[in-house]
């Protein structure tokens, strides 16, 4: 199965695990039915088409989960006796997850064995286990103490909802000196609490840079030319809950706790969101830890839907308890305000926000190019599509991931790089690290960083270095150069309205630099005109398809799939659109494959929306041959579905550049503005800023 809707899938899997935890916490002891017999604790979907079935099920005293639909209820079976009870009651069911505890226990065991048998991993830090929140903070301080000349600790402007300081480090030559016009690279992790490797790899990259500065020529050169901002844990409240609950489970296992202890995992190991308990209100002490997350459902705001860019549009939840809840307003959360303010006060020319999992390098935009945006035009391709795609491909060649747009995973609005790219012009990527799991066995984290198999010696380490190289490449950003009095402060500002889905928010970029002793400056900045007001391409579909074919099918059992073949005989088709529709407001997924000459299937498109949304996948310029439309029942109760393939001719249209935007450059001495001039600069361009008054009045 392709990697596409795995995050969704796993989120839902985790619901089940959390449901067990609810039982445990409520009673304070193991459920009456839990035994340590050989019976693998499993999650089953019991068919309950009638009210009588539901009532009957409720009399059996089983561990019912909160996951239910109009004709099913999911149940955790703890013993063979419970299974018998179901059978004797005449109920039928499908096994969804055949052994809930096994995977967690397995991971814990692999982790333990790895840590016990490995003195030092190949990671730059040599670590062998996941870091806790305290470990991240200790490590950042350690790096600052190790190389005070190149590492500076900093605090982000807002404390978390629980009052924690959000920390980062800046790594660079002359790190303690005032800004000197060098470009900035930003890398961060753990927007989502349960995505532990995203923090690990961010921190390891910092270790790599710090420990190799001065000895490795490439890294030395990079840190001479760029400033690197590292924020490994952007959501410390959420991460703390997830890792504590996950590690607690490890400890119990070490303690020979057995199966029952494993199932006693408090329900935050799979928490996704932040610690907001109620819109606009601060949580009380201990409140967030006490709430179980139901594997991403439950309390909190999805910080990766809370950014301003097109906030409130498709692919962002409006339900507080949903996994992608966008929050009551753009940037309503301190965790996203922090990153917004960091990015708005530095010239971040390239940004990577790390997540897990699915082995993807994702770039803007988060919604399909033909989605009509709030300005009435199709969202289209980002203005810098070609360059961002090329950089994505270079990075993906190192880690072996797929290089795709955010929307090719599923629709999203309000994500980090969709805001940062569109507001600042700095290139932004989401990395979805790892193949299978939110927090896999630690040896996989090691492999993801250093690279394994055919990617040995490359991996995300190399991908991050390439991103950092892009950050210093003047062809990929803009340069403002000129003469100014030595010691003068230059300030570059720009205010604009960032469109959300329904209105807009005010954004301000304000960055500074100090002019060096020679009285010359070279300032590496993002282009003055934002990508969203530059010209951009979009494709218009012909009104009628060239040809269309529909397949009706009977919905397969949950998690199973049905394939339909569709052959393209026409040459020169611009677009293959595959739409999947069904009657109930639940979850089916769609994957599209191309059948190669040797019969093997290559995935060419997919659509794995969250629950309730219909699926639509697009293949640009489909080649002749046979395609397979794979209809996957994630959690649907619909009896049937329709999948339609349509071939279209398209016409490429351009939304013309709407504005030329400028920065305002001020030259200041002792806080007094001596001169102010507008500066317009495009990507790849170097312009001379002619300051006169500042030089004469100094
Ligand atoms: O849904 C998300 O926030 C990301 N996946 S995850 O499993 N880590 O939660 C994907 C976001 C992808 N889209 C964009 N970044 N535009
Ligand atoms: Zn994530």
The SS3 call for residue 472 is helix
What residue spans define the domains of the chain? 6-105, 131-238+327-474, 478-525+667-697, 543-648
CATH topology of domain 6-105: Alpha-Beta Plaits (3.30.70)
Is-contact 156 231, C-beta < 8 A? Answer: yes
Overall average pLDDT of the 677-681 stretch? 94
| Residue of 8, 409, 422, 431 with the most ligand 1 atoms within 8 Å of its CB, for mutation | 409
Q: Examine the pLDDT at 594 and tell me if it is beyond 50.
A: yes
Is the pLDDT reported for residue 79 higher than 50?
yes
Q: Which ligand 1 atom is the nearest neighbour of the CA of 315?
A: 1
Label residues 684-696 b or e (16+ Cβ within 10 Å = b).
eeeeebebeebbe
Percentage of the chain modeled with pLDDT above 90: 67
pTM to 2 decimals? 0.79
Residue with the two structure tokens 């500066």: 679
* Closest ligand by atom to 608 CA: 1
Q: Which of 3, 5, 6, 7 to mutate to test the pocket of ligand 1 (most atoms within 8 A of CB)?
A: 7
List pLDDT tens digits, range 625-657. Answer: 999 999 999 888 899 999 999 999 988 888 888
Does domain 131-238+327-474 bear CATH number 3.40.50.300? Answer: no
What's the pLDDT score for residue 26? Answer: 27
Pocket-forming residues, ligand 1, beta carbon under 6 Å:
7, 192, 195, 304, 355, 362, 366, 406, 409, 412, 415, 417-418, 430, 432
- Rounded Cα–Cα distance for residues 562 and 603 (Å): 15
Cα 420 to averaged position of ligand 1 atoms, centre (Å): 15
- Pick the more confident residue, 376 or 344: 344
- CA–centroid distance, 288 to ligand 1, in Å, is 23
Coil, helix or strand at residue 590: strand
- Best residue for ligand 1 mutational test, from 412, 418, 433 (most atoms within 8 Å of Cβ): 412
Shortest-distance Cα residue to atom 11 of ligand 1: 406
When mean pLDDT is compared across 12-21, 116-125, 310-319, the lowest value belongs to 12-21
Higher pLDDT: 652 or 174? It is 174
Q: CA distances (Å), 326 to each of 282, 308, 315, 532, in order?
A: 17, 10, 9, 22
Maximum mean pLDDT: which of 56-65, 161-170, 635-644:
161-170
Answer whether 253's CB lies under 8 Å from 113's CB. Answer: no
pLDDT above 50 (res 2):
no
Q: Using the Cα atoms of residue 87, residue 91, residue 94 and residue 99 in order, give the sign of their dihedral.
A: negative
pLDDT in the model for residue 41: 65
Angle ∠(558,79,60) on CA atoms, nearest 5:
80
pLDDT recorded at residue 258: 37
| Residue nearest atom 9 in ligand 1 by C-alpha distance | 7
Mean pLDDT confidence for 472-485? 97
CA 71 and chain centroid, separation: 33
Whole-angstrom distance, CA of residue 679 vs CA of residue 688: 9
> What distance in angstroms lies between residue 488's CA and the mean position of ligand 2's atoms?
42
Please tell me the distance between residue 413's alpha carbon and the centre of ligand 1 in angstroms.
10
| Atom number in ligand 1 closest to CA 432 | 8
In this predicted structure, the answer to whether residue 246 has a pLDDT above a threshold of 70 is yes
Task: Tell whether the model's pLDDT for residue 608 goes beyond 70.
Answer: yes
Topology at the third CATH level for domain 543-648 = Jelly Rolls (2.60.120)
The confidence band for 294, taking pLDDT boundaries of 50, 70 and 90, is low
- Pick the atom of ligand 1 nearest to 366's CA: 16
């Amino acid at each position: 199965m392709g990697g596409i809707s795995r995050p969704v899938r796993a989120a839902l899997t985790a619901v089940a695990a959390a449901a067990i935890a609810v039982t445990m916490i409520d009673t304070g002891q193991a459920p009456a039915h839990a035994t340590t017999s050989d019976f693998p604790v499993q999650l089953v979907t019991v068919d309950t088409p009638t009210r009588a079935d539901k009532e009957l099920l409720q009399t059996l005293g089983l561990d019912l989960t909160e996951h239910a639909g109009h004709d099913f209820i999911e149940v955790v079976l703890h013993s063979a006796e419970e299974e018998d009870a179901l059978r004797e009651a005449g109920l039928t069911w499908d096994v969804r997850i055949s052994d809930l505890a096994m995977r967690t226990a397995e991971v814990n065991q692999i982790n333990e064995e790895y840590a016990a048998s490995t003195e030092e991993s190949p990671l730059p830090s040599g670590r062998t286990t996941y870091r806790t929140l305290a470990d991240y903070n200790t490590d950042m301080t350690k790096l600052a103490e190790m190389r005070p000349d190149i590492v500076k600790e900093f605090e982000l402007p807002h404390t978390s909802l629980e009052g924690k300081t959000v920390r980062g480090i800046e790594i660079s030559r002359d790190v303690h000196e005032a800004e000197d016009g060098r470009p900035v690279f930003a890398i961060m992790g753990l927007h989502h609490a349960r995505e532990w490797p995203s923090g690990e790899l961010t921190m390891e990259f910092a270790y790599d840079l710090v420990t190799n500065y001065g000895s490795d020529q490439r890294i030395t050169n990079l840190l001479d030319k760029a400033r690197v901002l590292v924020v490994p844990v952007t959501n410390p409240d959420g991460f703390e809950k997830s890792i504590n609950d996950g590690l607690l489970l490890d400890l119990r296992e070490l303690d020979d706790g057995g199966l029952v202890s494993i199932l006693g995992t408090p329900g935050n190991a799979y928490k996704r969101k932040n610690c907001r308990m109620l819109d606009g209100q601060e949580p009380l002490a201990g409140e967030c830890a006490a709430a179980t997350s139901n594997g991403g459902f439950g309390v909190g705001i999805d910080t990766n839907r809370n950014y301003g860019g097109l906030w409130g549009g498709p692919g962002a939840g409006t339900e507080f308890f949903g996994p992608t809840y966008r929050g009551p307003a753009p940037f309503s959360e301190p965790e996203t305000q922090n990153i917004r303010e960091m990015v708005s006060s530095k010239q971040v020319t390239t940004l990577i926000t790390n997540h897990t999992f699915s082995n993807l390098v994702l770039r803007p935009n988060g919604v399909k190019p033909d989605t009509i945006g709030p300005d009435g035009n199709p969202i289209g391709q980002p203005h810098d599509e070609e360059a961002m795609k090329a950089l994505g491909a270079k990075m993906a060649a190192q880690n072996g991931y797929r290089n795709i747009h955010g929307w090719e995973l599923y629709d999203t609005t309000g994500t980090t790089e969709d805001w940062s790219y569109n507001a600042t012009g700095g290139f932004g990527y989401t990395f979805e690290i790892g193949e299978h799991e939110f927090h896999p066995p630690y040896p996989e984290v090691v492999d993801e960083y250093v690279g394994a198999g055919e990617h040995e010696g490359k991996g995300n380490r190399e991908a991050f270095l390439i991103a950092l190289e892009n950050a210093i490449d003047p062809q990929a950003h803009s340069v403002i150069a000129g003469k100014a009095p030595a010691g003068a402060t230059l300030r570059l500002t720009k205010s604009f309205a960032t469109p959300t889905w329904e209105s807009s928010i005010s954004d301000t970029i304000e960055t500074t630099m100090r002019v060096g002793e020679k009285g010359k400056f070279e300032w590496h900045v993002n282009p003055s005109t934002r990508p969203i007001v530059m010209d951009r391409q979009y494709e218009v579909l012909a009104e009628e398809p060239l040809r269309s074919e529909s397949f009706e099918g009977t919905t397969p059992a949950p998690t199973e799939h049905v394939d339909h073949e569709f052959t393209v005989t026409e040459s020169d088709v611009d677009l293959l659109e595959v739409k999947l529709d069904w009657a109930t407001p639940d979850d089916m997924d769609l994957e599209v494959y191309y059948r190669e000459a040797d019969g093997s299937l290559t995935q060419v498109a997919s659509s794995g929306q969250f629950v309730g949304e219909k699926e639509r996948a697009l293949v640009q310029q489909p080649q002749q041959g046979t395609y397979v439309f794979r209809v996957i029942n994630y959690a649907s109760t619909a009896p049937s579905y329709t999948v339609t393939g349509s071939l279209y001719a398209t016409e490429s249209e351009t939304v013309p550049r709407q504005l030329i935007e400028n920065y305002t450059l001020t030259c200041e001495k002792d806080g007094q503005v001596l001169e102010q001039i507008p500066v317009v600069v495009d990507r790849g361009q170097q312009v001379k800023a002619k300051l006169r008054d500042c030089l004469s009045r100094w």
